[in-house]
Amino acid sequence: MGNDNFQYLLRRYPSDPLYPEVEKIRGSYVYTTDRRKFLDLTAGYSACVSIGGSNLKVRSAIKKQMRKYSYVSAVSWSNSRAAELAELLVRKAPLGLDRVMFPGCSGSEAIEAAMRMSYQVRFEQGEIDRSVFITRSNAYHGITSLALSLTSTPVYGFLKPLQPTNHVSIPQHNFFEQSLAGESQDDYALRSAKQLEDQIIATGPEKITAFVAESMLGSLQGNVPPSGNYWKLVREICDRYEIHIILDEVYCGLGRSGKVYCCEWDGITPDFVAQGKQLAGGFGPISAVVTKSRFEEIIKAGQNRIFYATTYEAHPLAVAAAIEVQKVVQSSEMLAHVNLIGEMIKQRLTDGLGTHEFFKNVRGRGALVTIEYQCDDQEKFNERLQAEMRDQHGVLIGSRFHRTNFNPPSTTSYRQVERAVDQYVELFEKIGLDFSRTSI
Ligand code: PMP
């Protein structure tokens, strides 16, 4: 029985009306207590419910684990299931990534742990001045101190006095925002990578520990894949100056991009990869840092302890869920389905809206697809798109800022997605008649 008395609950937006309550989730469908049903093309708002919300194998794995025990501390006890999950993640990782740590419940903790470990490796090697991180503008890497210090998102600006200052920023890597008139993807990739090298030289390589970035610009900017050989060029530059690459795949990793690791598309081996949201597909809170045994050896020869610890690291229930989720997302059938529906979304959006006066572009990888547009009063346009898709068609989409994101869970059939995209195109055109385009 629910409780109608919400006064003791501190909500993120205290003045918002109460949100509807969910009764149950089945596959890609969300059922609310007021008897409504929605097809969730946001995969749980932020693309974490990657295999739908009711997978029976995952549920039974959690129950099985619960019958044995729910929690033991990773400090005192071994958990062979955590080892099994690590092996699953290593098996599909780019060659050279062969160690996995489960630092806690959130993507933020994975980024925080990777940043700290990067610096600890420097410390153990006597390079204590290598403490600066390079970030890109308009990034979001999490809410913990170091992770948040990398963001330039204006809403968090007031927290600046509380944040570490050991970072420098280069422009975001976003062909749609940053390329010059007539510049090709390849030329832009070169220029964008050069911005990194220029910054390294300006700061002094001997002061820098790592470059932190998403493999593909994520939900904030709306699924912008890297241009040309960008990551190969970045890898070469970072190797030249011995700078670690920390890839943030909290949003784009573990199957959502159409490959298990998003950076597989780019053919590089980073030094650390942070995974989060989709690791247990929303069935349990858990995140991971995938890294190299070389760093483990350096730490072993130094203080012989990784200085990162949280109570719920490698939580056994989340580990049990994540093993089953990873078995699904790593299957070739699943990846093929993700790629197929993603390509279809891109095609249908381009065919349906490519000549619309608001249209700017369509992009993405796998099941992470974005359409970007521009019109007068974008916020109202988004509100109407979202509300009318929800209320008229029972479909949840992520329309915010300059774009709509489509992130269907893999339980969504080709036909379901196709229908929803067609409904979206129709609504876009209808609502569009009430708005006009601003001059760019
Ligand atoms: N990195 C990226 C790219 C993200 O999108 C997010 C979450 N939106 C995070 C890190 C932080 O993850 P979490 O919210 O689980 O801490």
Give 42-103 as a 3 state SS string: CHHHHHCCCCCCCCHHHHHHHHHHHHHCCCCCCCCCCCHHHHHHHHHHHHCCCCCCCEEEEE
Instruction: Provide the pLDDT confidence category of residue 102 given band limits of 50, 70 and 90.
Output: very high
Is 140 near ligand 1, meaning CB less than 6 Å away?
yes
The predicted pLDDT at position 5 comes to 87
248 lines ligand 1 (CB under 6 A): yes
Domains by residue range for the chain, with CATH: 2-53+331-431 (3.90.1150.10), 68-328 (3.40.640.10)
Residue 2's pLDDT band (cuts 50, 70, 90): low
Q: Distance from the CA of 282 to the center of ligand 1, in angstroms?
A: 13
Which of 251, 257, 310 to probe ligand 1 with, by most ligand atoms within 8 A of CB? Answer: 251
Ligand 1 pocket member 251 (CB < 6 A): yes
Task: Quote the ligand 1 centre to 199 CA distance (angstroms).
Answer: 25
Pocket test for ligand 1, best of 250, 278, 310 (most atoms within 8 A of CB): 250
Residue nearest to atom 5 of ligand 1 (CA): 251
Contact 61, 320 (CB under 8 A): yes
pLDDT over 70 (residue 439): no
Give yes or no for residue 316 CB within 6 A of ligand 1: no
Which atom of ligand 1 lies closest to the CA of 144? Answer: 16
Q: According to the model, what pLDDT value does residue 438 have? A: 60
Ligand 1 mean position, distance from CA 276 (Å)? 7
Cα atoms found within 13 Å of the Cα of residue 179, Cβ hemisphere only: 17
- Asked if residue 214 has its Cβ within 6 Å of ligand 1, the reply is yes
Q: Which pLDDT tens digit goes with each residue over 146-195?
A: 999 999 888 999 999 999 999 999 999 999 999 999 999 999 999 999 99
Residue 423 to residues 45, 377, 426, 427: CA-CA distances in angstroms?
20, 22, 5, 6
**What is residue 140's predicted lDDT score, i.e. its pLDDT?**
95
> pTM higher than 0.85, yes or no?
yes
The alpha carbon of 101 and the centre of ligand 1 are apart by a number of angstroms equal to 17
Residue type, 433: L
pLDDT tens digits, one per residue of 356-390: 999 999 999 999 999 999 999 999 999 999 999 99
47 token code pair: 């693309």
**Which protein residue's CA is at the shortest distance from atom 1 of ligand 1?**
141
- For the Cβ of 144 lying below 6 angstroms from any atom of ligand 1, the answer is no
Question: Within a 10 A sphere around the Cβ of 149, how many other Cβ atoms?
Answer: 20
Region 406-428: mean pLDDT is: 98
| pLDDT score of 91 more than 90 | yes
CA of 315 to the centre of ligand 1 (A): 19
Is ligand 1 within 6 A of the CB of residue 112?
Answer: no
The residue nearest atom 9 of ligand 1, judged by CA position, is 142
pLDDT digits (tens, 9 = 90+) for 280-337: 999 999 999 999 999 999 999 999 999 999 999 999 999 999 999 999 999 999 999 9
Stated length of the chain: 440
DSSP string computed for 155-193: GGGGGGGGS---EEEE----HHHHPPTT--HHHHHHHHH
Q: Residue 4 — pLDDT band, cuts 50, 70, 90?
A: confident
